[in-house]
């Protein structure tokens, strides 16, 4: 197997030995900022007190609120003159979260991203088109520098403007793209509206992430374009993209444990959960100098996949993000995640590209409506066929989420579109 970095094939013993050494170094570096020095002193933690990886649990968690309170530079562990770049995590409420990087941090991040891309077959002969936003969002520059690190011709197309994206891809024969899963379907719609078959588009590999999506959604993307779509995971607090990535097996994302220590905990008890059980992902970075972060509660829900991957890499695998612990909504006493809804409706071949969950109150109680686009060829005047489809979707949703929503079938392309992250849920109950 050809690898980008020999660390990809390290044994579990080598991985864990390296993690302990780097954890001690990271704790020492973190203590150079007042915030962590005070936190670690209160917990009695210093580099010499860490004798095994089990001691990681003695370190207090870091939360997004902690990072917000230290905005803009309270978390720095180096002089500001050593910082060469700053990113802000996405979000529309509260104070921003600023993540700062030294040049070494940027280089390490580019290497990790190149490792991810190389793992799914991207080589210097490829033409890479980045259809993600640049600027403060980490997804654009993070993957851009990884592609250049591999030596690819890199097109910084940015987000949106589908006609331009299509022209660039055709003119330069783009073979690899970074794209939001929801935008991949929008791009396919544009091609069809232009009278073209998306399967004849030059893409062979798509790097997808930044928003939760199901396996059913992935298969739709792959079938639409006749390409392979690989799931990725990243978050601004841990650099951005490049934290975890699928290999050719497409059976979970490898977490690069030479650069991070992942944990999965019960979000209520904060205790670790067994492999295979869903919980909240907690991350510690091991290779960052400018702003090391210890035991960060991501709020992302996933699980460790038990067993070894068929590719031979022993870095642990995590499942796709199932949602966020704060995305869950409660209706009629039942806990529901939007991903559960998508998992059901995307199995129906009649369903189109988009859907929307609406939570309302009708004066008597809470009501859940699901608006589902239906493909043009199925949106016919045969009312009985549509009624049967409506009933089937509602029943399948009832089986999955234990309540029966009101299902409304709407025409293709009638729901609001966005070229950024898809909006799948609107909770209107508080507005009544």
pLDDT, tens digit, 9 for 90 and up, residues 318-341: 998 887 776 778 787 777 878 788
pLDDT digits (tens, 9 = 90+) for 156-165: 999 888 999 9
Number of structural domains (the chain) is 2
239 and 214 Cβ atoms separated by less than 8 Å: no
Q: What is the DSSP letter of 305?
A: P
153 and 51 inside one domain:
yes
CATH number where 206 lies: 3.40.50.12780
Rounded Cα–Cα distance for residues 334 and 328 (Å): 10
169 and 221 inside one domain:
yes
- pLDDT for residue 418: 66
- pLDDT for residue 258: 98
Query: If you average pLDDT over every residue of the chain, what do you get?
Result: 91
316 and 246 inside one domain:
yes
282 and 410 inside one domain:
no
Tell which wins on pLDDT, 56 or 215. 56
Last residue of a domain, one of 295, 326, 357: 326
Contacts of residue 35, Cβ cutoff 8 Å, sequence gap at least 6: 66, 70, 74, 75
359 and 278 inside one domain:
no
251 and 162 inside one domain:
yes
Report whether pLDDT(169) > 50.
yes
pLDDT digits (tens, 9 = 90+) for 182-225: 889 889 988 988 999 999 999 999 999 877 778 888 998 999 99
pLDDT, mean of residues 391-397 = 91
In the structure, what pLDDT confidence band is assigned to residue 93 with cuts at 50, 70 and 90? very low
Range of the domain at 251: 1-326
347 and 234 inside one domain:
no
111 and 5 Cβ atoms separated by less than 8 Å: yes
345 and 298 inside one domain:
no
118 and 208 inside one domain:
yes
In the structure, what pLDDT confidence band is assigned to residue 57 with cuts at 50, 70 and 90? very high
Report whether pLDDT(432) > 60.
no
272 and 382 inside one domain:
no
pLDDT, mean of residues 239-262 = 96
369 and 221 inside one domain:
no
Report whether pLDDT(82) > 50.
yes
CATH number where 364 lies: 3.30.300.30
**Secondary structure of residue 45 in the 3-state scheme:** coil
Rounded Cα–Cα distance for residues 231 and 266 (Å): 24
Whole-model pTM? 0.81
- pLDDT for residue 92: 43
């Amino acid at each position: 197997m050809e690898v980008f970095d020999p660390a990809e094939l390290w044994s579990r013993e080598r991985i864990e030995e390296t993690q302990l050494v780097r954890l001690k170094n990271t704790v020492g570096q973190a203590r150079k900022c007042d915030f962590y020095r005070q936190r670690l002193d209160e917990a009695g933690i210093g580099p010499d007190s860490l004798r095994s990886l089990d001691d990681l649990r003695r370190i207090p968690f870091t939360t997004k609120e902690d990072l917000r309170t230290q905005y803009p530079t309270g978390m720095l562990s180096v002089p500001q003159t050593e910082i060469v770049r700053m990113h802000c995590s996405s979000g529309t409420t509260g104070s921003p979260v600023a993540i700062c990087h030294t040049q070494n941090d940027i280089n390490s991040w580019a290497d990790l991203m190149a490792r991810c891309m190389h793992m799914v077959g991207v080589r210097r002969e490829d033409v890479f088109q980045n259809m993600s936003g640049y600027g403060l969002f980490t997804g654009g520059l993070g993957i851009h520098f990884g592609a250049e690190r591999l030596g690819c011709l890199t097109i910084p197309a940015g987000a949106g403007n589908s006609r331009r994206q299509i022209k660039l891809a055709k003119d330069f024969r783009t073979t690899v793209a970074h794209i939001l899963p929801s935008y991949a379907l929008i791009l396919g719609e544009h091609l069809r509206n232009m009278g073209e078959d998306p399967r004849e588009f030059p893409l062979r590999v798509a790097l997808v992430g930044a928003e939760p999506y199901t396996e059913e959604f992935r298969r739709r993307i792959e079938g639409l374009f006749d390409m392979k779509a690989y799931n990725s995971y990243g978050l601004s607090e841990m650099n951005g993209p490049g934290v975890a990535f699928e290999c050719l097996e497409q059976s979970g994302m490898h977490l690069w444990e030479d650069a991070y220590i992942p944990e999965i905990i019960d979000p209520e008890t904060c205790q670790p959960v067994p492999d295979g059980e869903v919980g909240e992902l907690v991350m510690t970075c091991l290779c960052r100098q400018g702003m090391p972060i210890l035991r960060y509660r991501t709020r992302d829900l996933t699980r460790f996949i038990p067993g070894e991957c068929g590719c031979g890499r022993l870095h642990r695998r995590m499942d796709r993000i199932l949602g966020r612990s704060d995305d869950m909504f409660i209706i009629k006493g039942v806990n529901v995640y939007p991903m559960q809804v998508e998992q059901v409706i995307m199995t129906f071949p009649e369903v189109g590209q988009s859907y929307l969950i609406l939570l309302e109150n009708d004066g008597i109680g809470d009501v859940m409506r699901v608006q589902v686009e239906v493909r043009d060829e199925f949106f016919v005047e045969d009312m009985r066929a549509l009624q049967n489809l409506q009933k089937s979707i509602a029943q399948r949703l009832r089986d999955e989420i234990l309540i029966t929503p009101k299902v409304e079938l709407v025409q293709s392309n009638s729901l609001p579109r966005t070229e950024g992250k898809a909006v799948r849920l609107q909770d209107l109950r508080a507005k009544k």
